[in-house]
Amino acid sequence: MEKVLEVKDLKISFKTFFGEVEAVRGISFTVGKKETVAVVGESGCGKSVTASGIMQLLPMPPAFFKGGEIIFNGENLLKKSEKQMQAIRGNKISMVFQDPMTSLNPTMKIGKQIVEGLVKHHKMSREAAENKAIEMLKLVSVPQPEKRVNQYPHEFSGGMRQRVMIALAMVCNPQLLIADEPTTALDVTVQAQILELMKKLQDQMDMSIILITHDLGIVADMSDRVVVMYAGQIVEVGLTDEIFANTKHPYTRKLLASVPRLDMSKDEPLYSIDGTPPDLYIPPKGCSFYDRCSEAMKICKDHVPELDEHSATHQSRCWLNHAMAFKGNSRAGGEK
C-alpha cells in the first residue's frame, strides 16, 4: 500500500525546570493511503505530543525534536522551514482537536473560520469562500447552513462545534487527518455521529486518518491498525483484528480488560489498571511497564525489550516474547 506518512524513530523531549522530560522515546509507524491508524494509550503516554509533533505545533522551547524523521510524501517534515510547514498545515495535513468548546475563536464568525485556511492556501474570492463554507457545513450535516455560517461558536452545541472543526479541517481536502481524541469531550450518542461522519468523509475524500484515543471501544469500529503507546514508546502495533484477538503485550491486555462490557454482571467490579505511568524525567531503566506488570520477570527491570515480530503486521515489545520466557518461570496461580 502507498505510504502517506512514515514516522521513523521519533524522539521528542521537553526542557523543564526539573530537567529533560522524554515524552516520545523513539517511535516508528506508518500510515497508508485511506488507512485509519489508531494510536492508543493512557494520558501522558506521548500520543498527543506525537500528533502535535507531526504538525510541528508544539511550543518549541520547551519542546525539542531529539531525533528521528517524519516522512510525508517522501519528504522529511523535520527538515522543513516554518513557511513550508505552513503550506502543509490545513492543506495537506489537518488536525481535529479534543475540546470543541475551546477550539474555536469566540469572536470570529464560523464561516470565516472554516474557510480561513482555504483562502490562504488556494486564494479564493470572498464570495467563493463563503459559498464553500456553506457547502462544508452541509457536508458535515449542520442544519440551516446559510444561516449558521454567519453565527458565532457560542451559538452552537458541543457536537455541532466538533462538526464545524471537522469542516474546518477538511476544507482543503487534506491527505491526512490527525484526530486527537475527537470524541472524548462529547456525549456517547454524539460520539457515534461524529465517528460516522469521519468515516463517511474518509471514504469520499480518500483520506488517511490518525485517530488518537484512549477509548478502545471506538478503536474496534474505526481503525484498520492500532498502535499502542506506553510511556513514550510503542509497546504493540498490529492490525485491529490481531490486537484484539491475539493480544501480545500485558499492557494491551489490561487495556482491553478495562473496557466495561455490556455482558458483565452488575456485581462484577470494574477492572482498572493499578498504579500510574512512570514519570518521564527519569526514564525507567528497563521495560517501562515493569512496575505495573503482573507478568514481570527479573530481566524486565533492567533491560529494555526490543520490538519482536509476530507477523508481517504485528509486533510487540516484551520479554515474554523471548524463547526463554517460559523456562525459568513458574506461573501457577499468578496474580491478576
Partner 1 sequence: MKRYILKRILLAIVTIWAIITITFILMHSVPGNPFRTESKMPPVVYKNLQAKYGLDKPLSEQYVIYLGKIVRGDFGDSMKSRVETVNDMIERGFPVSATIGLQALVIALCFGPALGAIAALNQNKWPDYISMIIAILGISVPNFIMGTVFIQFLARNIGWLPIGGWGEFRHSILPSFALAFLPMAQIARLMRSSMLEVMGQDYIKTAKSKGISKATVVLKHAVRNAILPVVSILGTVASNLLVGSFVIEKIFGIPGLGTFFIISIGNRDYPLIMGTTIFFAIILILMLLTVDIAYVLIDPRIKLSKEGR
Partner 2 sequence: MKAGLEFTPDLFSVAAKEDRNKEKIHRPSIKYWPDVWRRLKMNHLAMTGLILIAILSIMAFVGTEINGFKYFEQNYELINVHPDGVHWFGTDELGRDLFTRIWYGTRYSLFIGVMAALIDFTIGVLYGGIAGISRRNTDAIMMRIAEVIYSIPYLLVVILISVVFTQAGQGSSLFVLIFALTLTDWVPMAILVRGQVLQLKESEYALASESIGATKGWILRKHIIPNALGPILVNVTLTIPRAIFAEATLSFIGLGIQAPRSSLGALANDGLAGLPVGNAYQILIPAIFISLTMFAFNVLGDGFRDALDPRLRK
Strand, helix or coil for residue 197: helix
CA angle 199, 227, 24 (to 5 degrees): 120
Task: Please give the helix or strand (H or E) that residue 57 lies within, else none.
Answer: none
Query: What's the closest the beta carbon of residue 287 comes to partner 2, in angstroms?
Result: 10
- Measured from the CB atom, the residue of 122 and 310 that comes closer to partner 1 is 122
Rounded distance, CA 296 to CA 278, Å?
Answer: 16
Query: What's the closest the beta carbon of residue 329 comes to partner 2, in angstroms?
Result: 6
298 binds, among partner 1, partner 2, none (CB under 5 to 8 A by kind): partner 2
Burial 302-312 (b: 16+ CB within 10 A, else e): eebbeeeeeee
- Measured from the CB atom, the residue of 57 and 299 that comes closer to partner 2 is 299
C-alpha to C-alpha distances, 32 to 7, 37, 38, 147, nearest whole angstrom:
12, 9, 12, 38
Rounded distance, CA 163 to CA 28, Å?
Answer: 31
Q: Is 278 in the site for partner 2 (CB under 8 A)?
A: yes
Query: What's the closest the beta carbon of residue 291 comes to partner 1, in angstroms?
Result: 33
What one-character-per-residue DSSP string does 129-194 give? HHHHHHHHHHHTT-SSHHHHTTS-GGGS-HHHHHHHHHHHHHTT--SEEEEESTTTTS-HHHHHHH
Q: Is 327 in the site for partner 2 (CB under 8 A)?
A: yes
307 binds, among partner 2, partner 1, none (CB under 5 to 8 A by kind): none
- Cα–chain center distance at 199: 16
Rounded distance, CA 15 to CA 135, Å?
Answer: 44
- Scanning residues 302 to 321, which ones bind partner 2 (CB under 8 A)? 303, 306, 319
Q: Is 91 in the site for partner 1 (CB under 8 A)?
A: yes
Total chain residues near partner 1 (CB under 8 A): 31
**Residues in CB range of 21: below 8 A, 6 or more apart:** 13, 14, 280, 281
Q: Is 141 in the site for partner 1 (CB under 8 A)?
A: no
Query: What's the closest the beta carbon of residue 121 comes to partner 2, in angstroms?
Result: 34
- Scanning residues 2 to 21, which ones bind partner 2 (CB under 8 A)? 16-18
Q: Is 49 in the site for partner 1 (CB under 8 A)?
A: no
Q: Is 281 in the site for partner 2 (CB under 8 A)?
A: yes
Cell of 111: 464561516
- State the residues that interact with partner 1 by CB under 8 A: 55, 57, 82, 85-91, 94-95, 97, 99, 102-108, 116-117, 120-121, 152, 154-155, 165, 168-169
- State the residues that interact with partner 2 by CB under 8 A: 16-18, 274-276, 278-279, 281-282, 290-293, 296-301, 303, 306, 319, 322, 324-331, 334-335
